Amino acid sequence: MNRNTLCTIYIVRHAETEWNAIGRIQGQMESSLTEKGLGQARQTAEKLRDITFDAVFSSDLLRTKRTAEIVKLDRELEVVTKEVLRERTYGRGDGKMIEEWRKETRHLLEQYQKLSEKKKWRFKFDEGYESDEELISRFITFLRETAIAYPNKTILIVTHGGVIMTFLAHIGFAKLSELKAAGFKNAGYLKIQSDGVDFFLKEIEGYQKNNK
């Protein structure tokens, strides 16, 4: 590992939205930030105020782009939006209340819980649902391409909770089931470094392991 070629990447989850607040599945649908969410984004902006970013990327969904605009503060950097950074789609579950979706898929959730960790990565709750394997494939590809394109630079990426938790499971931070049970706070973030192949977790702010 050549430390001089490592890319430093801050991966931020978007701040709280109206649908987060009421327990509605967003997936790839749109929902605006709440007042609380705007405050969360400003708090994260303050935490990262002294970081010199060389580029800013976000999912093309409005909640992430708005969070990115706040977190980057007055840095004169364009927020480059990428569809590949979107949250997973839940297929027909997008837009449904979480409790309603859980009731409808209870038999599938029970089936999912019995699977090995490996099989859980490929599991789909319906035809339109994006599996963890599909989600991490597109995200990891983007991270590796970014690390190679920006050696010895610092990058800000604003994405979604499902993306971040799946990434943490991928790098071995915790099991996928543990991460999904715990969650990741709105406007929380990771600091990682990458040489374009491997990923090294340096800091985590927002993992709710003891606060389910």
Would you list the DSSP string of 37-49? HHHHHHHHHHHTT
Say whether 14 is catalytic. yes
- The kind and range of the H/E element at 107 are helix 106-113
As a whole number of angstroms, the distance between CA 144 and CA 98 comes to: 33
Helix (H, G, I), strand (E, B) or coil at 82: strand
Phi, psi of 97 (to 5 degrees): -65, 140
Inter-residue contact 187 to 164 (CB < 8 Å): no
Q: Catalytic one among 18, 78, 83, 87?
A: 87
Active site residues: 14, 87
